Structure formats: structure tokens, C-alpha cells
Amino acid sequence: MVNMSGAEALVKALEKEGVKHIFGIPGGATLPIYDVLYDSDIRHILVRHEQAAAHAADGYARVSGRPGVCFATSGPGATNLVTGITNAYMDSVPIVAFTGQVPTSWIGKDAFQEADIVGITTPITKHNFQVQKASDIPRTVKMAFYIATSGRPGPVLVDLPKDIQIDHAEMEFDDEISLRGYKPTYEPHPIQVRRAAELLANAEKPMIIAGGGVIASNASEELIRLSEKILAPVATTLMGKGAIPEDHPLALGQLGMHGTLAANKLILEADVLLCVGMRFSDRTTGDPKKFCPDAKIIHVDIDSSEIDKNIKCYLPIVGDAKLTLHAINEALNVVLKEKRTEWMRKVKEFKAQWESSVKEGFTPPYLMKVLREILPKDAIVATEVGQNQMWAALYFKSYLPRTFVSSGGLGTMGFGFPAAIGAKVARPDRIVVDIAGDGSFMMNYPNLACAVSENIPVIIIVLNNSVLGMVAQWQRLFYGRRYSQVHLGGVPDFVKLAEAHGAQGLRAETVEEFRKAVKQAIESDVVTVIDVPISPEENVFPMIPAGKSYEDMIVEGS
Amino acid sequence: MERQTHIISALVEHKPGVLYSVSNMFRRRAFNIESITVGPAEQKDIARMTIVVNADERILEQVVKQLNKLIDVIKVSVLDPAASVVREMVLVKIHTPNSNVRSDVINYVNVFRGRVVDIAPDSLIVEITGDPDKINAFIDLVRNFGIKELARTGVTALSRGLKSVRI
Ligand SMILES: Cc1ncc(C[n+]2csc(CCOP(=O)(O)OP(=O)(O)O)c2C)c(N)n1
């Protein structure tokens, strides 16, 4: 036991958890903590808005697999985190958010900068705490990190009243924590595993859908092994992108509302679907009543509440994706090459059809291909939300897990840039690119100041169509081109904007200029914004209109 | 699927905020709570929540899973109505303007094995304990006399005999 202040105990507890980086902004209710941080080896990255702190922690966690940490003061600092925390919750990302709070004696009195952040974040965190006394800090920190990173990961918030940060107490750092209401299931049930293996072995046209759980549990190797063993093509959800290298002969790319032709067509034919670490979101299923009615669905998820929540499955397996895929691999000892020739022919055919759909030209799909050629295999790509995101998901091939960072469940415009900052902090050895839309980038671009002053050289490629493109696309397709509030007439000059922040600003108006600009950005290794003016009339296809099913897919020109 | 009333018994950490996170989850997931009662359980740091929901089998399964998912919820069971003791209490203040009405009410109370717990010049407070159907029946019966005030506790329940919901 050591006597120290709550703030000192907090920083020590963070160090014990191996925390190396914190994203945040200080304020009145966190002054004692920031005073201790002044002497700590933990690097604090001063963002320009707390939303960015949460997104940066989120991006950090996604690419590193380690929990991301963000700090905010009480009241507005804490409420500014809310979008970022919700984003992490929807995508099951382990972040731990610490918020200052007014002193305990002032709680409930509407004190200056008091916000009930525990109440506010209850439905958007995996769990949250308000620490009641200084000596509880070490244990609470331990529990927060354990909960955030175990089972199905997710955000945890710890609210720290200011007096508790100041109070001194005897601190115990080696307490065993026990959470009797929380026992994640990792090991799949062997009988279910055997049944899954049998179903897959006997299937005519098996297909695998890999979700974010495959990435979270580092199960790529097991996934690829299984798909090769049973000759099942693999489609990914947005969160699962990178689970299988997208140049693999069995990789179909993204599935769903904006799925590839290959994935969206083949799923209609599959007779057994192995769905791993995914949650059947509406963006993946379309009309749930019409989602693959004839296929037998095996659903693997670590969170039992996902089983039968949106789609009733034929065979549920509750367990960790990696352990479960490994177990299914072990249980499968048949060789069935012959059986699948027709299926494999179809996979090849649809893939080829899809690949050939991208024509050379100054169009977003082609630019994504060009970008892929320039970037090294292990480069990390973050996206904003809208058409830019779907172009990246569809046409930028990811080769490795944890190299594609995108806001899936919440679809948060403004996520990509701060997430890229977090990703670059976690992986300074990698090239990190944010593929952005002009609308999204404008939501969080003030963090250019953060990236420049903290020397975090990320590259932002703004696919600048001067519209809220995805909304415009829906208005074009479903509202008779009545463009309501989507024109961003006053788009700033992004080159000057970058320069005003001390970053490099480049513009690319041809494929050649684009190539050159990306290379220059990589070589100069400074924060770079590349403005890429594109047509406001582009559509992202294929598309399944909201609430429709796979049969209703709209393909380009149809 | 058919909707039905189900009684869920949950053991939870007995600390601030747990009732909030449970009720918040119900609201957020659009599950309906018919009633919820909470009090200390056999162990001092654990509380027992008895939650009555009207749901079909699929929603019930989701309710149980979502409850289990909350970190401060330790154990969740759906009680079998045939093998459980289910009780609710009601206090009813009934308008009794004259002695005829008063004696009618007292007769009903006796039949329902209730008690008169307060007498005022023109009203009585009656206490009835039983399963919700019995309480509904009593309330229907005395409604015509004029109910001035009514307070129901909500259902609490335990499974009978060897079966128990413990940690
Ligand atoms: C914070 C937030 N507000 C609103 C939306 C709704 N929305 C979805 S896509 C989109 C347009 C995005 O525009 P832009 O960033 O320019 O990307 P583009 O679609 O043009 O590539 C909007 C407004 C959202 N997803 N997130």
C-alpha cells in the first residue's frame, strides 16, 4: 500500500495497464490529473475537440488491438465525448474514457460544468463507473480496462469527481478484481462445433461472412485456413474488411447495401452460411425477412445476445471467433475439392465480372485502385462516412486485418480524420491515409492543428464533390432529384486550409496528378491534405435500397 | 408468436445506478416492463429484482440475454408460474359513506383474506395480498363503492421448494 492522491493513483494505474498514449483536452475538473501527467512518461495528445479524442482513441484501438484512452473535463468536455463513445460502442471497440466531475459535495446541485455523464452514457457504454472514494481508483481502473478489452469489447467510462482526484489515501494496486456478473464465454460448445463442421462439409455451396469479431479476436489466419479447406468464399461486413486479403481468390469483398457484385450475388445461392463475429445489421441483411431464406445459417458470436436478435439462425455457437474457427478447422478432416468445382467456377466468374467493372478514368473507384497500387500492403486506411466510405470499402482492397478503419454501426461523419490520428500514433511505422468527403472532413478538420503540432503525419484525401454526396445520391435516386440541403456551396479551398494549419496542401485533377500527390505526401512525411475535385453526380453502386432485399440490387446503369 | 406475461427474477449488485441501467436497457431496446420490484436479497450486497414483462418467446429470450449482458446483473431466471409463489400487495382507500357500505366492504375483505388497516369517518384503507389476478378481482369488486386512492406494489416472486435462483 502506498499513500498518494487520487490523481497520482490514476496515472500510476494507467501506467500499470501499459497505457502509453492519451488523447484529450484538460479543464477545471481534471486539473489535478493533468498536474500529475506533467511528470509522467505517458504521451498526451492535445486534440482540438473531445469528439476527436474519443475517435482517436477508437482508431488507436482498432489498429493496435490495445485499448485507446481519452480524457475530458466535466460538463461540455464529457458531453463532447458522447458521439465518439457511441461510435466505439456500435463497433465494439475497446476504449476507456476518463471524465472529470464536479466535487462529490456538488453533485446533483447543477454546479458549474456539471453533466450527468454516467446517466448519459449508460446506454452507450459497455459499463461505466463514478468513483466514490480515492482508494477505489486503482481497482476501478483495473476493472474498466478488463471490461473494455474482454469478451465483446466496448467502451467503458470512468467519471472522477474532482475532490477524489485530490484526496490522499492508502492505495492498493494489486487487488484481485472480481466481477461476479460478468463471465464472457470464449470456448465454443464442442457439440455445436461438430454440428457446424458437418453442415459445412455437407454443404454444396457454403459461404462465410466475416464481421468485426474476426478482426477483434485476431482470427484471420483461422478464417483463411477454414475457407481454403472447405472452399467457401468469404464476404466481409464493413467491420470485417481486411479479415481476408482482398486479393485472395476466395475473397468476395464487402456484402450488403453497398456490397460487391460478387458477394451480393453469390449469397443468394449459398446453402450454408457461416457468419462469424457479425451481428446482422440492417446494412448487411436488407429486409431481414427476406435474408437468405433457404440457407442454413450458422451464427458464431461471443455475445450471446446477438444470437437470434435480428436473424434467426439454424445453428448458434457462442464463443470467441478465433477459438471457434480453430475448433471447426480441427473438427473438419474431410477433403472435398471435387465437390465444389461448380461453386468455385461461379466464384471465379462473379469475381471477374466485378473486377472488370472498374474502368480507367478520373473516377473514385479507379482512384481507389490507383491508391492501392501506390500504398504499401500494410498501410492503414481510415474513412469518413458517405460515398467516400463506400468507394473505399468497395474498391480499395485491404490486405491485412486492422488496416481498414471505418465507422460502421454509427456512420459518424468526422470520424475518419481523428481516427487516422489515433491510428498513426499507435502505428507510427505505417502510412496512414484518411479517405474523406468534403462534408465529413469539415466536421473535424480543426484537428489539423493537432496533427501538425504533435507531428502526426497523416494523409487526408478529400474526394471533394461539394455536396453531401451520399444524401444527394438518395435524393437523386429516391426523391426525384429534389436536392434539399446537400449543396456545400462554400467549400473552403482545402489546399489553403491545409497551409493555414501548417500542413501541406496539394490538389489533384487528373489520375496522374493524383498519383504524384500521393507519392509526394508519402515521401515528404508531413501532414498532407490532397484536394481531389470530383463530379457531384457520381453514384455508389451496387446498391440495395434501404429495406429491400438482395434480389433488388441496383447495379450501375440499370 | 403469442405474447404472454412472464416473471423474471434477477439477482443484481445492490448498489446505486443498477436499477437505472436495468430500466434504461428496457427503454432503449423497446421492451415493455409491466412491473418491477426491487429489494435486498438473502445476501446483503445483492438485491433481487422481480420484473414482469409481456412478451413473446423471442422477445423474452432477448430480455434475458440483454439483462445478463449488464455487468451488474449477476443472475437471471424466468420463473415457472406453476412452480413459483407469486405475490403482490395492494392498499386501497375505499369510500364508505355509511355503515351499510362499510360492512359490505368488510365482508369482501374477509372473503379475500385481506385486512382493514385504517378507518376514517367516510373511508377505509384495505390491504390485500395475493397473486395479481386476485388483486384485480378485488379492485373490480369495490370499484363501484368509489376508490379514493390505490397503491399496488408490483409483483414479487420466488420459485418453490428445491428450485432456487441463487448465486
Ligand atoms: C454526423 C453525421 N451527420 C449526418 C450524417 C448523414 N450523412 C450520411 S452521409 C452524408 C454525406 C457525407 O458527405 P461527405 O462527407 O461530403 O461525403 P460524400 O458522401 O460526398 O463522399 C451525411 C450528411 C452522418 N452520417 N453523420
Together in a domain, A402 and A324: no
Q: Is A122 within 8 Å of B21 when comparing Cβ atoms?
A: yes
Together in a domain, A277 and A405: no
At B166, the pLDDT band (50, 70, 90 cuts) reads: confident
Together in a domain, A48 and A123: yes
- List strand residue ranges (DSSP E) for A181-308, in order: 206-210, 234-236, 251-254, 272-276, 296-301
Q: Give me the CATH number covering residue A32.
A: 3.40.50.970
Q: Does residue A51 form part of some domain?
A: yes
Strands A315-318 and A296-301, bridge-based pairing: parallel
Residue A554 gets which letter from DSSP?
A: B
Residues of chain B in contact with residue A304, where contact means CB-CB under 8 angstroms, are 65, 68
SS3 A388: helix
Together in a domain, A417 and A387: yes
Strands A234-236 and A251-254, bridge-based pairing: parallel
- List strand residue ranges (DSSP E) for A340-394, in order: 380-383
Together in a domain, A390 and A346: no
What is d(CA A339, CA B37) in angstroms, rounded to the nearest whole number? 59
Together in a domain, A321 and A373: no
Domains and CATH numbers, chain B: 4-79 (3.30.70.260), 85-156 (3.30.70.1150)
Q: What is the pLDDT of residue A334?
A: 66
Cβ neighbors of A460 (< 8 A, separation 6 or more) are: A417, A420, A433, A434, A436, A441, A528, A529, A530
Residues of chain B in contact with residue A126, where contact means CB-CB under 8 angstroms, are 71
Q: What is the pLDDT of residue A229?
A: 94
Chain B residues contacting A via beta carbons under 8 Å: 12-13, 17, 20-21, 24-25, 28, 58, 61-62, 65-66, 68-75, 167
Residues of chain B in contact with residue A119, where contact means CB-CB under 8 angstroms, are 20
Q: What is the pLDDT of residue A137?
A: 98
Distances (CA, A) of B63 to A314, A480, B83: 21, 42, 21
Q: How far is ligand 1, taken at its centre, from the CA of residue A414, in Å?
A: 9
Q: Does residue A546 form part of some domain?
A: no
Ligand 1 pocket, mutate which of A87, A462, A470 (most atoms under 8 A from CB): A470
Last residue in a domain, options A108, A142, A171: A171
What is d(CA A83, CA B14) in angstroms, rounded to the nearest whole number? 30
At B161, the pLDDT band (50, 70, 90 cuts) reads: confident
What is d(CA A365, CA B15) in angstroms, rounded to the nearest whole number? 54
Q: Does residue A20 form part of some domain?
A: yes
Residue A461 gets which letter from DSSP?
A: E
Together in a domain, A437 and A481: yes
Q: Does residue A539 form part of some domain?
A: no
Q: How far is ligand 1, taken at its centre, from the CA of residue A440, in Å?
A: 6
Last residue in a domain, options A125, A140, A171: A171
The tally of domains found in chain A comes to 3
Report the pocket of ligand 1 as residue ranges, CB < 6 Å: A 384-388, 411-414, 437-440, 463, 465, 467-471
Range of the domain at A452: 364-533
For chains A and B, count residue pairs whose Cβ atoms are closer than 8 Å: 40
Give the position, in ligand 1's atom list, of the atom nearest the Cα of A440: 15
Q: What is the pLDDT of residue A489?
A: 87
User: For residue range B46-95, what is the model confidence (pLDDT) as tens digits?
Assistant: 999 999 999 999 999 999 999 999 999 999 999 998 999 999 999 999 99
Give the position, in ligand 1's atom list, of the atom nearest the Cα of A412: 26
Reported as type and span, the H/E element at residue A359 is none
Q: Does residue A234 form part of some domain?
A: yes
From the list A130, A182, A304, which residue is nearest B65 (CB)?
Answer: A304
Ligand 1 pocket, mutate which of A391, A410, A413, A483 (most atoms under 8 A from CB): A413
pLDDT tens over chain A, length 558 residues: 899 999 999 999 999 999 999 999 999 999 999 999 999 999 999 999 999 999 999 999 999 999 999 999 999 999 999 999 999 999 999 999 999 999 999 999 999 999 999 999 999 999 999 999 999 999 999 999 999 999 999 999 999 999 999 999 999 998 889 899 999 999 999 999 999 999 999 999 999 999 999 999 999 999 999 999 999 999 999 999 999 999 999 999 999 999 999 999 999 999 999 999 999 999 999 999 999 989 999 999 999 999 999 999 999 999 999 999 999 999 997 666 567 889 999 999 999 999 999 999 999 999 999 999 999 999 999 999 999 999 999 999 999 999 999 999 999 999 999 999 999 999 999 999 999 999 999 999 999 999 999 999 999 999 999 999 999 999 999 999 999 999 998 889 999 999 999 999 999 999 999 999 999 999 999 999 999 999 999 999 999 999 999 999 999 764
Chain A residues contacting B via beta carbons under 8 Å: 118-119, 122-123, 126-127, 130, 147, 179-182, 303-305, 307-309, 312
Ligand 1 pocket, mutate which of A367, A385, A391, A491 (most atoms under 8 A from CB): A385
Q: Is A305 within 8 Å of B66 when comparing Cβ atoms?
A: yes
Together in a domain, A265 and A380: no
CA end-to-end span of chain A: 71
Planar angle of CA A115, A385, A535, nearest 5 degrees: 140
Q: Do the Cβ atoms of A39 and A53 come closer than 8 Å?
A: no
Q: Give me the CATH number covering residue A289.
A: 3.40.50.1220
Q: Does residue A413 form part of some domain?
A: yes
Together in a domain, A263 and A212: yes
Last residue in a domain, options A138, A171, A204: A171
Look at B28 and A333; give whichever has higher pLDDT.
Answer: B28
Together in a domain, A333 and A467: no
User: For residue range B93-152, what is the model confidence (pLDDT) as tens digits?
Assistant: 999 999 999 999 999 999 999 999 999 999 999 999 999 999 999 999 999 999 999 999
Reported as type and span, the H/E element at residue A507 is strand A504-507
Q: What is the pLDDT of residue A504?
A: 98
Together in a domain, A351 and A368: no
Which residues of A are designated catalytic? 50, 112-113, 162, 470
Q: What is the pLDDT of residue A59?
A: 98
HEC states along chain B?
CCCEEEEEEEEEECCCCHHHHHHHHHHHCCCCEEEEEEEECCCCCEEEEEEEEEECHHHHHHHHHHHHHCCCEEEEEECCHHHEEEEEEEEEEEECCCHHHHHHHHHHHHHCCCEEEEEECCEEEEEEEECHHHHHHHHHHHHHHCEEEEEECCCEEEECCCCCCCC
Together in a domain, A164 and A306: no
Q: Does residue A551 form part of some domain?
A: no
Q: Does residue A553 form part of some domain?
A: no
